[in-house]
Amino acid sequence: MEKLIIRGNGPLNGEIPVSGAKNAALPILCASLLTAGTMRYSNVPMLRDVATTQKLLQGMGVRVMTDNVHEVEITANQIDTLVAPYELVKTMRASILVLGPTLARFGEASVSLPGGCAIGSRPVDQHIKGLVAMGAEVSIEHGYVKARAKRLRGATIVMDMVTVTGTENLLMAATLADGVTVLENAAREPEVCDLAHCLNKMGAKISGIGSDRLVIEGVEALHGAEYAIMPDRIEAGTFLIAGAMTQGHIILRHAAPKGMEAILDKLVEAGAIIECGDDWISLDMKRRPKSVNIRTLPYPAFPTDMQAQFMTLNTIADGAAMVTETIFENRFMHVPELKRMGANIETEGNTAVIRGVERLSGATVMATDLRASASLVIAGLIADGETIVERIYHLDRGYEHIERKLGAVGALIERVS
């Protein structure tokens, strides 16, 4: 099993390229099921979750070709099976995203229920509710969601809660429905917008992109297209936190500051000097960070995927801060590991109080989920001594070559077996 060994080495300085967004790439790859034409994608991050999605599509008979760098070509003109099996779905909950497009194009789909998740429950009831409203017959049998519909029909769907994957699934399904579908209380995340823009390039008719009311006029068929995946705002935010904690100066290239306002505002509040262009972000930190309070909420508020990283910044910041997690009920699993490194954190329910200390101490820590693993890596950058992060397969689900990127700007970090 691989692990990362990290040694504190002072400020980070230099340029870091930002990869394509995992949370945009996964639904967009699944959108390939909506057409028999060939989809050509660029800026695709080569991550564990992307590989799992490709394997899932290939298992259904989809032809997938990749240069294993950043380009993927997908053709779904010969589908062998309309089943997404438990063996693959259990490793990545986003696999549920094949449900909507498969049902819309082929009239039926059978997708394993995702099961448990380390950071909390992610129910699919809103997905099912929306498909039923569009005329589908849906049942749950032997752990599988089984759906049928000769052709979906347009409907007005008011979601009980903001759900990113629920919005994405219903958005894809609605593109081939008969009539107009309106999604009320839709998720507004930039990754949802990226999917919508891709679908429009494929011939869909979607309006209201970026708002909580999406209007989709169904069409008979979609066609192939070329599309570039948006930059990853969470990877970018993680690198900015690393720069701030080490009191460094870094420039992110191929970034997308539009959509990162909540993250950048908190970094400025912590004392960072931030400058932005259309596709770059610069951070300069000349002092110890100041503590910042965080409360996670759906976009455009502060993202839950940056909560662990900002908590880590608060561990060595000047002052005390409160972090409140409102999205997932079990997303403080990094806290015991940070405390092993000397962090002063007290938790009660979904709230953590962090009192900054002068330094963290290197220790052997265990990654429990994707963003928790990133928080432990950046903690190691400013800790005294050696930090060993184990179970980094979680990290490889969402960060592409993180040790190379951080190493290029001065971090002492290596991957070992």
**Known catalytic residues?**
117
C-alpha–C-alpha distance, residues 310 and 270, integer Å = 10
Identify whether the C-beta of residue 370 lies closer than 8 Å to the C-beta of residue 396.
no
C-alpha–C-alpha distance, residues 190 and 259, integer Å = 6
State how far Cα 286 lies from the chain centre: 30
C-alpha–C-alpha distance, residues 136 and 141, integer Å = 15
Identify whether the C-beta of residue 7 lies closer than 8 Å to the C-beta of residue 385.
yes
C-alpha–C-alpha distance, residues 372 and 305, integer Å = 9
Among residues 200, 285, 273, 192, the alpha carbon closest in space to that of 230 is found at 192
Among residues 417, 3, 40, 390, the alpha carbon closest in space to that of 228 is found at 40
Identify whether the C-beta of residue 369 lies closer than 8 Å to the C-beta of residue 21.
no
Q: Is 125 exposed, middle or buried (0-12, 13-18, 19+ CB in 10 A)?
A: exposed
Identify whether the C-beta of residue 93 lies closer than 8 Å to the C-beta of residue 86.
no
C-alpha–C-alpha distance, residues 193 and 188, integer Å = 7
In this structure, what are the phi and psi dihedrals at residue 79, rounded to the nearest 5 degrees?
-90, 130
Identify whether the C-beta of residue 111 lies closer than 8 Å to the C-beta of residue 92.
no
Buried-exposed string 263-273: b where 16+ CB fall within 10 A, e elsewhere: bbebbeebbbe
Which secondary structure element, helix H or strand E, spans residue 359, and what is its range? none
**Alpha-helical regions (H) of 209-255:** 233-245
Compute the C-alpha angle 332/298/375, nearest 5°. Answer: 35
Which single residue is written with the structure tokens 């000349």?
A: 286
Residue type, 87: E
